Amino acid sequence: MTDIIRCENLTIGYNKKPLIKDINIAVKRGEIVTLIGPNGAGKSTLLKSLSRQLEPIEGSIFLDDKNLAEMSGSDLSKKVAILFTDRIKGEMMNCYDVVATGRYPYTGYFGVLGAKDREIIENTMKLVKVDDLCDRDFKKISDGQRQRIMLARALCQEPEIVLLDEPTSFLDIRHKLEFLSILEKMKEDKKLTVIMSVHELDIAQKISDRVLCLKGDKVEKFGTPEEIFTKDFIRDLFDVNESLNEYAEKKNIKLF
């Protein structure tokens, strides 16, 4: 598999204050990569940098060997879709309308949907199993339903990469499994590249091709689930001290 996105000597943060330094990673086309690490380690910051919502402090990000900073907004939105925790407001919009906004990179200045656009919207809503919500008010559905609508919106862009920030946080177990199965299907069928932050280590262990571990101001480790998910490494990554580890063992609480 070829590299689709690459970070070279990348330092990111806010207001010129570095949060993570010297990121040198490459993600292959069709991979699912999960970001894990303690709260505040910079998972969301990295995703925002990869989507060009944040400008790097130093270094570069390349998408298909093109410098992300030099790409037009239109070209970028046709390649990268995002599903972040910041919520679309969706006032006076039904769920179909929200999903349809994912076609804006293709519909021109006036956003007029053609027959092909409508076909893609309808097929995507069926794929994500939200076609029964078409006419529902977006503001009056549950958090879990909104999350699936937003996934449909992202996939409507027909992206090569989708960036997701804690996408399963609002989903019950059934919809969490459906959500993950859709991502894996898109990976297999469309060679979709997925980069997402998760708190559920069991999900990261099961679904990932590789796992990026953030801690302090650096990438602690980037490897396969087999390389990452050892008891000693996870304890160190999340600063689980001996007493907490003993408590977990006493209560039969698995770290992953």
The predicted-structure confidence for 39-98, as pLDDT tens digits, reads as follows 999 999 999 999 999 999 999 999 999 999 999 999 999 999 999 976 666 678 999 999
d(CA 59, CA 57): 7
Provide the pLDDT for residue 86.
Answer: 65
Phi then psi for 162, rounded to 5 degrees?
-125, 130
Provide the pLDDT for residue 111.
Answer: 81
210-215/218-223 β-pairing: antiparallel
Q: Determine contact, residues 63/5, Cβ cutoff 8 Å.
A: yes
Which domains does the chain possess? Answer: 3-250 (3.40.50.300)
d(CA 35, CA 196): 6
Which DSSP letter does residue 101 get? G
Torsion over CA: 149, 153, 154, 159 (sign): positive
Q: pLDDT 10s digit of each residue in the chain, 256 long?
A: 799 999 999 999 999 999 999 999 999 999 999 999 999 999 999 999 999 999 999 999 999 999 999 999 999 999 999 999 766 666 789 999 999 999 999 997 778 999 999 999 999 999 999 999 999 999 999 988 999 999 999 999 999 999 999 999 889 999 999 999 999 999 999 999 999 999 999 999 999 999 999 999 999 999 999 999 999 999 999 999 999 999 999 999 888 8
Q: Determine contact, residues 219/36, Cβ cutoff 8 Å.
A: no
> pTM value?
0.95
Q: Give 61's contacts (C-beta < 8 A, 6+ positions apart).
A: 5, 6, 7, 8, 10, 49, 50, 67, 68, 69
- Helix 143-156 vs helix 115-127: crossing angle, to nearest 10: 140
User: What length does the chain have?
Assistant: 256
